[in-house]
Amino acid sequence: MDSEGSVHLEHLVRATLEPYAFPDRGDLTQAPEGALTEDQVVPVSLILHELATNAVKYGALLAPTGRPRIGWSVEDLEGKATCLDFAGQESGDPRPPLPTGWGLERG
């Protein structure tokens, strides 16, 4: 948190996703400057955490070859509010290989 009580969005994204092998296996794309107030930090962190755990359980981080990418845009809505739009993309085969020795082999 800086002296004005705000948190830089990129710092929050990196800190939240770091336990999920990010940035070693992930990329930040389209990361414009933006700051969150104290009241916005927890909800945005929870959203990022949910996206990351879904990538681990069902998506790109399930397989060693998978790579998640995340980016965002910040838009001022006529001075009344700010819109934060996250965009995510996953690449690589997220399906794990079939286990062997369980009668699943085809022959």
Residue 59 domain-assigned? yes
CB-based contacts of 96-105 (< 8 A; 24+ apart in sequence): 96/62, 96/63
Q: Is residue 19 part of a domain?
A: yes
pLDDT for residue 16? 85
Residue 74 included in any domain: yes
Q: Residues near 40 by Cβ (< 8 Å), separated by ≥ 6?
A: none
Quick check: is 1 in a domain? no
pLDDT band for position 23 (cuts 50, 70, 90): low
Q: Is the pLDDT of residue 104 over 90?
A: no
Within a domain: residue 77?
A: yes
Whether residue 89 is predicted with pLDDT greater than 90 in this model: the reply is no
Residue 70, exposed/middle/buried by CB under 10 A (0-12, 13-18, 19+)?
A: buried
Q: Percentage of the chain with pLDDT > 70?
A: 79
Number of domains in the chain: 1
- Residues of the domain holding 37: 6-91
Residue 99 within any structural domain of the chain: no
Asked if residue 55 is part of any domain, the answer here is yes
Q: Domain for residue 29, yes or no? A: yes
pLDDT at 46: 93
Over residues 53-77, the pLDDT tens digits come to 888 888 888 877 888 888 888 887 7
Q: Which range is least confidently modeled, 36-40, 72-76, 86-90, 92-96?
A: 92-96
Q: Which residue has the higher pLDDT, 42 or 33?
A: 42
